[in-house]
Every structure is written in C-alpha cells, then in structure tokens.
Amino acid sequence: MLNIGVLVSGGGTNLQSIIDGTKFGDIKGDVKVVISNKEDAYALERAKHNNIESVYETDEDTVIQILKNHNVNLVVLAGYLKIISPKFVESFRDKIINIHPSLIPSFCGEGYYGEKVHQAVIDYGVKVTGATVHFVDEKADNGPIIMQNTVDVSHDDDAKSVAKKVLEVEHKILNESIKLFCENKLSIQGRRVFINE
C-alpha cells in the first residue's frame, strides 16, 4: 500500500473520487494527508469526513515537510491552483501527478486553470476537448503524459457544460493513473510514459 498526499484548492470532487477508489479497493493506496492553500476549500471538509488529516498551509517548505512526515510515495495535484517550485519537484521527482482539464498541450500552462480553460475551449471553437493526467516537472503542465480522455464540444455548450463533461473523464483517468502508479506499472522514458503489464 502506497501513501498518497493530495494537494487541493477547491471543492475536491477529484479528491472524493480518489478516496472512494482507495476505500473500495480499486486503488492500492491510502490517502494519508490532504493539504490546501485555500483555508475555505471544501476539499478539507471532505478529508475530515473521511478521517484523513487535513491541513491548510501556504508555505511550500512546510508542505514538503508535511508530506515527508507522512512518508508519502505519491503526491497528487487535484485542482491545486498553485504552481509548485523546482525544489518541490526535486523533493518528489517522478512521484507527483497532476490532472489538467484539457488535452495537453492545448489550453495549458500558466493562466489556464478552472473555468478559464473551458472558456478558452469555447472561444477557440474546438470540437473536442478532454482531460490529461501527467507527471509534474519544473514547467507548468509540461511533464510526461500518463493518460488522456476526450469529450465532444457541441455548438450549444458553454464553459459550465464543458466543465461538467470534462469532470467525468477527469475522475476516471485520475483514478486509473493513481491505480497504475500504486501497482508500479508506469515507467517514464523521455517524454513517454509506458504502462507495464
């Protein structure tokens, strides 16, 4: 069983999906701590309801130490609206994954988060969007891609309806990626991530 630390900034629906995955045995891991950079993030309440330590913390060095104190093997950025530093990346090299609500390399990088991503999708007029789970490196939304899934964008969609569609695939691919990591089935070769049977 691997120890998982989850970093959040908002409501925590992805967090809930991860917790459910660990509870029902799909994910061979245990969420040890949930940390938010927003004091009023509902995700912290979700953690408390599931008897998981929840921490409001904005200082990155302290966040790193908390994760190390819990012997965390995998850090999941699940709607964490803060760019982490190279020091953070180096502390957990190839052990940090992020979920992003678009098909990277489209609509990603600094400034692209939350509903801003989905509005950009609508404004650009793309016909397909989706979600991406990737390993985290020193650049925003840049690390090797683990998994992606798509949704269609209809002519009558708006940012909110696209967000709802994308969230469904986010839950699916994030949990699947965590499951594979916990089973030691992911390997990185350059920019490519391979799933080992």
Residue 20 to residue 129: CA distance in whole angstroms: 26
Residue 195 neighbours by CB distance under 10 Å:
13
Look up 155 and say whether it is catalytic: no
Residue 34 to residue 67: CA distance in whole angstroms: 9
Of the candidates 166, 76, 79, 83, the residue with the CA atom closest to the CA atom of residue 121: 166
Tokens matching residue 3: 């120890």
Among residues 49, 70, 100, 171, which one is catalytic? 100
Residue 42 to residue 56: CA distance in whole angstroms: 11
Q: In what order do the strands lie in the sheet with 29-36?
A: 53-56, 29-36, 2-8, 74-77, 96-100, 128-135, 145-152, 192-195, 186-189
Beta carbons of 63 and 36 less than 8 angstroms apart = no
Question: Which residues are known to be catalytic?
Answer: 100
